[in-house]
C-alpha cells in the first residue's frame, strides 16, 4: 500500500519516518495529481491555517474531497484533525469538513500549551500510548456516526468515522507505531 503524506507544512517528515520504519511505501503529496497515486493519506500536524490556505490555493482540497468520497482512508493528526473537522468553534476558517466533529483550536485544558499524557486506547491493546499534545485542538462535539477511541480527562482525543481517523496529539513524535499500524490495518481496510 502506498501512503501519501500531505507535505505542505508541518510534521510530514516525522510521519514518513514512522511509516518507513513500518516498511510502508510513502509519497509526499504537494500537487493534486499526486493524490491519484496513493491508497491512503496522512494530514500532519503543524499550523492548520497555513496548511488549509495552501490546500485550497493549490487545488488539492477539491481532489482530496473527491478521493475521500470514493473511500480514501485519511488520518489527520493535530492540525490535520482541525482540517478534517466539519466546524471550528468561534472562527471563520475553511476546513475540508470530512468528519462530523467540531473542534476548538489551541484550547486544550486550561491554558496548557503543550503536555504529554499516557492514553488508554482500547483498540491498541493494554499498553498505554504516550500522547504528545502541542497546542492541541479540543473536540467539543462528536456527531452520531463518529466513534470516540480515546479520551483525555473526559475529552475525545482520538476519533474515527469509517475510514477516517483523527487525533488531537502527535503519534509521529513517539517511537510507538501502533496508531499508524491501526490506521493502515483496521481503518484503511474497513
Ligand atoms: N494549533 C494548531 C492549529 O490549530 C495545531 C497544532 C499542531 O498541529 N501541533 O493549527
The ipTM is: 0.93
Which among 7, 18, 13 has a CA at the least distance from the CA of 184?
A: 18
Q: Among this protein's residues, is 89 annotated catalytic? A: no
Q: Which residues approach ligand 1 with their CB closer than 6 A?
A: 45-48, 78-79, 82, 105-106, 134-135, 137
- Atom index in ligand 1 nearest the CA of residue 77 equals 8
Which among 147, 168, 187, 173 has a CA at the least distance from the CA of 80?
A: 168
Predicted TM-score (pTM) of this structure: 0.96
| Cα–Cα separations (whole angstroms), residue 160 to 21, 149, 166 | 24, 7, 6
Distance of CA 67 to the CA centre of its chain: 16
Q: What is the pLDDT along the chain (190 residues), one digit of tens a residue?
A: 999 999 999 999 999 999 999 999 999 999 999 999 999 999 999 999 999 999 999 999 999 999 999 999 999 999 999 999 999 999 999 999 999 999 999 887 655 689 999 999 999 999 999 999 999 999 999 999 999 999 999 999 999 999 999 999 999 999 999 999 999 999 998 8
How much distance in Å is there from the Cα of 133 to the middle of ligand 1? 9
Class of domain 3-187: alpha beta
How much distance in Å is there from the Cα of 56 to the middle of ligand 1? 18
Domain regions of the chain by residue span? 3-187
Amino acid at each position: 500500500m502506498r501512503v501519501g503524506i500531505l507535505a505542505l507544512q508541518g510534521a510530514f517528515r516525522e510521519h514518513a519516518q514512522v511509516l518507513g520504519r513500518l516498511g510502508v511505501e510513502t509519497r509526499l503529496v504537494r500537487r493534486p495529481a499526486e493524490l491519484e497515486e496513493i491508497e491512503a493519506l496522512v494530514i500532519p500536524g503543524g499550523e492548520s491555517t497555513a496548511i488549509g490556505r495552501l490546500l485550497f490555493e493549490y487545488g488539492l482540497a477539491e481532489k482530496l474531497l473527491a478521493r475521500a468520497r470514493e473511500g480514501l482512508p485519511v488520518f489527520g493528526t493535530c492540525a490535520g484533525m482541525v482540517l478534517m473537522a466539519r466546524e471550528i468553534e468561534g472562527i471563520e476558517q475553511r476546513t475540508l469538513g470530512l468528519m462530523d466533529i467540531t473542534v476548538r483550536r489551541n484550547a486544550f485544558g486550561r491554558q496548557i500549551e503543550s503536555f504529554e499524557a499516557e492514553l488508554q486506547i482500547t483498540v491498541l491493546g493494554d499498553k498505554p500510548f504516550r500522547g504528545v499534545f502541542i497546542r492541541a485542538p479540543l473536540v467539543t462535539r462528536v456527531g452520531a456516526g463518529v466513534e470516540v477511541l480515546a479520551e483525555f480527562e473526559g475529552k475525545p482525543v482520538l476519533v474515527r468515522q469509517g475510514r477516517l481517523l483523527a487525533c488531537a496529539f502527535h503519534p509521529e513524535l513517539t517511537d510507538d507505531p501502533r496508531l499508524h499500524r491501526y490506521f493502515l490495518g483496521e481503518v484503511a481496510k474497513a
